[in-house]
Amino acid sequence: MKLATFNINGVKARIGALSDWLQEQKPDVALLQEIKSVDEQFPREHFEEMGYTVETHGQKGFNGVAILSRLPLEDISRGLPGDETDEQARYIEATVIGETRPVRMGCLYLPNGNPAPGPKYDYKLAWMERLRDRARALLALEEPALLAGDWNVIPQAEDAARPEAWVEDALFRPETRAAYRRIETLGFTDAFRARVRGAGHYSFWDYQANSWERNNGIRIDHLLLSPQAADLLRDAWIDREVRGRDKPSDHVPVWVELDA
DNA sequence: ATGGCAGCGTTCCGCTGA
């Protein structure tokens, strides 16, 4: 199966570009972040007519995640466990029934956390601790599983065109990178880094200051694979071309192909 | 050194994002 994680920055604003991309690339599964829509306003029928099963976890104005799948979905769960008071819609999980085997997928929109330090940064780090608990539970299944989405984490200096500009930022502070590493080192494989080494590979370019034209990007959209999913990895790549189209999101799709 | 763009709701400004 071919699947992509894609922060679309608003489903209403992106419906044209997203539909074009789906029809061209035909992902079996699209894990979407920042739908910026409540569930009732999400254009579900539009994507169903394109052959997708649609599961959303939205909220008004901001955040929101969704799973679009051509393959059957089972056992949908909405929200990241661990804090009943958290009202932000940033996590949805489902089992995708592949042709040869099922794959459990968590679709996440990790908090930005700026300004740091401060309450938003505290929320980010607390959210990452809850995600680590969920990651541990997924690994305990000992089955193909992945955690994919907009992590809002620059894992290493090579993942930013100008790392020096990010040292104080919530996306790159040492505590952020350490928290990300604590999840990865539980036993996950960064799918993209399993296939491509070196600097210069980004998944986000700011709308401001001609970041795209200057290739001033950062790599913050990641797919982490359980060992059983990593065994199925055929390929991984970033669809950078999408950023140069009309009315683009500020993020681009990051892909994996799995033998499933 | 700063801000620059884009989307959305509280809409013709303010907030958030990264």
Cβ-based burial of A137 (10 A; exposed 0-12, middle 13-18, buried ≥19): exposed
Strands A254-258 and A233-238 turn out to be antiparallel
Count of beta carbons in the 10 Å neighbourhood of residue A224:
25
**Angle between the N-to-C axes of helices A119-140 and A174-184, in degrees from 0 to 180, rounded to the nearest 10:** 10
Strand ranges, E, within A8-129? 29-33, 53-57, 65-69, 73-78, 91-97, 102-109
What does the pLDDT read at residue A209? Answer: 93
Å separating the CA of residue A37 from the C1' of nucleotide B16: 15
How far is the C-alpha of A181 from the C-alpha of A166, rounded, in Å?
Answer: 18
Q: Which percentage of chain A shows pLDDT scores above 90?
A: 100
What does the pLDDT read at residue A71? Answer: 98
What is the tens place of the pLDDT at every residue in A180-202?
Answer: 999 999 999 999 999 999 999 99
Å separating the CA of residue A213 from the C1' of nucleotide B4: 14
Number of domains in chain A: 1
What does the pLDDT read at residue A148? Answer: 98
Cis preceding linkage at A144, omega within 30 = no
Burial A81-98 (b: 16+ CB within 10 A, else e): eeeeebebbbbbbbbbbb
Q: What is the mean pLDDT of residues A214-243?
A: 98
How far is the C-alpha of A243 from the C-alpha of A249, rounded, in Å?
Answer: 7
Query: What are residue A94's DSSP bridge partners?
Result: A105
- Which nucleotide's C1' atom has the smallest distance to the CA of A38? B8
What is the tens place of the pLDDT at every residue in A26-81?
Answer: 999 999 999 999 999 999 999 999 999 999 999 999 999 999 999 999 999 999 99
Tell me the two tokens of residue A259: 């033998």
**Residue A112 marked in a binding site:** no
What is the tens place of the pLDDT at every residue in A230-254?
Answer: 999 999 999 999 999 999 999 999 9
CB A172 within 8 A of CB A160: yes
How far is the C-alpha of A242 from the C-alpha of A247, rounded, in Å?
Answer: 10
Strands A91-97 and A102-109 turn out to be antiparallel
**Residue A7 marked in a binding site:** yes
Composition of chain A by helix, strand, coil, percent to 5: 30, 30, 40
- Which nucleotide's C1' atom has the smallest distance to the CA of A218? B18
- What CATH number corresponds to the domain at position A201? 3.60.10.10
**Residue A9 marked in a binding site:** no
Q: What is the mean pLDDT of residues A86-91?
A: 96
What does the pLDDT read at residue A74? Answer: 98
CB A257 within 8 A of CB A235: yes
What does the pLDDT read at residue A2? Answer: 98
pTM here is 0.97
Question: Which of the residues of A are catalytic?
Answer: 109, 150, 251
Structure confidence at residue A92 as a pLDDT band (50, 70, 90): very high
Residue with tokens 């959303």: A56
How far is the C-alpha of A238 from the C-alpha of A144, rounded, in Å?
Answer: 22
Q: Give me the domain span that covers residue A20.
A: 2-258
Task: Output the average pLDDT for chain A.
Answer: 97
Structure confidence at residue A128 as a pLDDT band (50, 70, 90): very high
- Which nucleotide's C1' atom has the smallest distance to the CA of A41? B8
What does the pLDDT read at residue A242? Answer: 97
DSSP state of A251: B
Q: What is the mean pLDDT of residues A129-136?
A: 98
